[in-house]
Structure 1
Amino acid sequence: MRIHTLDLHFLGIPGLIASYLVESGGEYALIETGPGSTLETLRSAIRAAGVDESVIKKVFVTHIHLDHAGAAGWFAQIGATIYCHPNAARHLIDPTKLIGSARMVYGDQMDALWGKMLPAPAGLVIALQDEERVKLGEVEIIAWNTPGHARHHHAFIIGDVCFPGDVAGARLENSRYLSVTAAPPQFDPVAYVHSVDRLTAAGFQSLYLTHFGRVDDVEWHLSAYRKRITEIHARVAADFRSGVSAEENRTRYATDEHEAAMRAGVDEALWQKCERANLTSMCADGVRLFCEKEQ
């Protein structure tokens, strides 16, 4: 088996969003497609790896947020089967609601950021149950239900490696700063910790993060990430109980995360890149929304 890391150069910046081309026994699969806005970059990266995109017959998306699955419909329209969580399938077949919700958030920036999300033919979208397996050449790709970032989230397992989507967070340039992916509306710290514990217990040798790249210090990463999930929840929950406004919550969250990144040895340039990969304002809103639901 070979795994090719494909950098989608989101916003023209290297190292923000990855897609993974997996090759085994003469078959090819794609894990994550990135957004529609980087489709041409993805296609070029696939060809640079010596593969024509038409031979990719299996595409796996961890969840249907636009930075992970925005280009999935294009691959389905050229004949690839899309594998996803059961709660994600309908949004891949008809992305109207998903696109509408995103447009409300991003407004005039929507098209530039995310591009088009094409509908996938229903017959080419297959929902995988927890621990269901799909054969690819000489290996099997196993779906694990891993809620916390989103309820419709899978991690994909091949042997001793894991493609965790957003359930293992964002970590750029192999720094020691782990940014909790907590965008609304489905952040759930209890489910999140359970999912991270499940990954930890498996003893994987490597994680292939969508944001961004291969991680080999898996035990440290997952242990530290578990702490970060509980830390941001406790922090926002305390502020919420004390009456901090949503706007002030965003400001405090950004300040606290900036300080955490500096303590982890991140310089200002890398911090700005981390912000591009995982906006603190959106994460602040995601954690606060969970706190509101807790009341």
Structure 2
Amino acid sequence: METSLEFPPLMAFSLPPDFFPSMRVHTLDLKFQNTPGLIAAYVVESEGSLALIETGPGSTLPALRQAVMEAGFAVNDIRHVFVTHIHLDHAGAAGWWAQQGAQVFCHPSAARHLVDPSRLIDSARRVYADEMDTLWGDMLPAPEERVTPLMDAESVTVGSMKFTAWDTPGHARHHHAFIIEDACFTGDVAGLRLGNSPYLSVTAAPPQFDPPAYIGSVDRLLSADFKRLFLTHFGGITDVRSHLTRYRQRIEEVNQNVRQWLAEGLTTEAIQQRYEETEHALATAAGISPAGWDLHQMTNSTRMCADGVKLYVEKNP
């Protein structure tokens, strides 16, 4: 059963392509856990050539393939795949695409984990236990010759469009955003924003959350004056400067909150509870319904984020 979102119209089930002078961007809803509006992938169409940005997890591969076909394309026509980082909700299905003959482009530090995902899988299984397969599905190994690491500012041309990788750490050290003209496909570096709500959720999963690096990456995006951001969670937004400026503040807020709670001597469990209460209050003030809050928790758990921020603060007192 699909869950309906109580958000503004951007969350429409069928999303029209975004038009640019030399390309069309198709937002594909992967219906994570049978719920629309949580994880997106993007097909970029330029002069008859196609590129896929983000693959989602293995569990949503059937939905992704169906969405590609519903957009009017054959799955085998996608020969270029770009993943922002190797967290399972972004790149879990990358190996499948590589096994079909697509070339997968990623951060240099991510390449070896796409070729041999065993450490990623083992780590995730320790966290998710019996829910691992249901949530994330299979992560297949990519043939080594099908994985191409991109350095910062390195580009790949698909059709007439140049896809440029920007090293954007903070959420993860192995994170790229991908730039096409005046549009940026942000992965997690611009946070989570469901339904074009004013509430911004900081993607702070352990173990690599790093506020100074994160803010530096957001500042880099701000300096570029993009006209549109495409978030993996979820969709295209045009209020770019206000979004990034607010998100920069939010990163510092969660960092300072957890730092203060640790200084007060709160336990891990108490910090997780305080983090959830604080974020829930912000979301409620921004108009998020109880059902909408549950969807935020499904996509970016406050418990997980509290642990990520706490780990950074403990290592950087």
Question: What interval of TM-score do these two structures reach, taking the shorter chain for normalisation?
Answer: over 0.9
Q: 241, 263, 267: which one pairs with 2:289?
A: 267
For residues 1-80 of structure 1, what are the structure 2 equivalents within 5 Å?
Answer: 1-80=23-102
In the TM superposition, what is the alpha-carbon distance from 1:8 to its structure 2 partner?
Answer: 0.3
Look up the match of 1:294. Answer: 316
List per-residue Cα deviations over 1:34-60 (Å, max 9, x = no partner): 000000000000011111111111000
**Structure-2 separation of matches of 1:246 and 1:236:** 10
Look up the match of 1:156. Answer: 178
SS in 1 for 2:202: coil
Q: 192, 211, 224: which one pairs with 1:202?
A: 224
In the TM superposition, what is the alpha-carbon distance from 1:125 to its structure 2 partner?
Answer: 0.4
Letter in 1 for 2:302: T
In the TM superposition, what is the alpha-carbon distance from 1:264 to its structure 2 partner?
Answer: 1.5
List per-residue Cα deviations over 1:143-171 (Å, max 9, x = no partner): 00000000000000000000010000000
**Structure-1 separation of matches of 2:285 and 2:220:** 28
List per-residue Cα deviations over 1:231-282 (Å, max 9, x = no partner): 0000001111221111111111000000011122222221111111111010
SS in 2 for 1:174: coil
TM score, norm. by length of structure 1:
0.99
Is it true that 1:222 corresponds to 2:244 in the alignment?
A: yes
**Structure-2 separation of matches of 1:149 and 1:218:** 19
Is it true that 1:146 corresponds to 2:160 in the alignment?
A: no
In the TM superposition, what is the alpha-carbon distance from 1:7 to its structure 2 partner?
Answer: 0.1
**Structure-2 separation of matches of 1:279 and 1:142:** 31
Is it true that 1:122 corresponds to 2:149 in the alignment?
A: no
SS in 2 for 1:175: coil
For residues 174-189 of structure 1, what are the structure 2 equivalents within 5 Å?
Answer: 174-189=196-211
SS in 2 for 1:135: strand
Letter in 2 for 1:289: L
SS in 2 for 1:6: strand
**Structure-1 separation of matches of 2:81 and 2:284:** 37
**Structure-1 separation of matches of 2:241 and 2:171:** 20
Look up the match of 1:239. Answer: 261
In the TM superposition, what is the alpha-carbon distance from 1:117 to its structure 2 partner?
Answer: 0.2
**Structure-2 separation of matches of 1:33 and 1:50:** 18
SS in 2 for 1:164: strand
**Structure-1 separation of matches of 2:215 and 2:303:** 22
List per-residue Cα deviations over 1:4-36 (Å, max 9, x = no partner): 000000011100000000110111000000000
In the TM superposition, what is the alpha-carbon distance from 1:129 to its structure 2 partner?
Answer: 0.3
Is it true that 1:82 corresponds to 2:124 in the alignment?
A: no
SS in 2 for 1:19: strand
In the TM superposition, what is the alpha-carbon distance from 1:174 to its structure 2 partner?
Answer: 0.3
**Structure-2 separation of matches of 1:179 and 1:10:** 18
The percent identity for this pair of structures is: 60
**Structure-1 separation of matches of 2:250 and 2:285:** 14
Look up the match of 1:111. Answer: 133
Letter in 2 for 1:150: A
In the TM superposition, what is the alpha-carbon distance from 1:192 to its structure 2 partner?
Answer: 0.2
In the TM superposition, what is the alpha-carbon distance from 1:225 to its structure 2 partner?
Answer: 0.2
In the TM superposition, what is the alpha-carbon distance from 1:211 to its structure 2 partner?
Answer: 0.2
Is it true that 1:134 corresponds to 2:163 in the alignment?
A: no
SS in 2 for 1:87: coil
In the TM superposition, what is the alpha-carbon distance from 1:99 to its structure 2 partner?
Answer: 0.2
**Structure-1 separation of matches of 2:34 and 2:179:** 30
**Structure-1 separation of matches of 2:240 and 2:299:** 21
TM score, norm. by length of structure 2:
0.92
Aligned residues: 295
SS in 1 for 2:80: strand
Runs of at least 5 residues in structure 2 that lack an aligned partner in the other structure: 1-22
Name the stretch that deviates more: 106-115 or 46-55.
Answer: 46-55
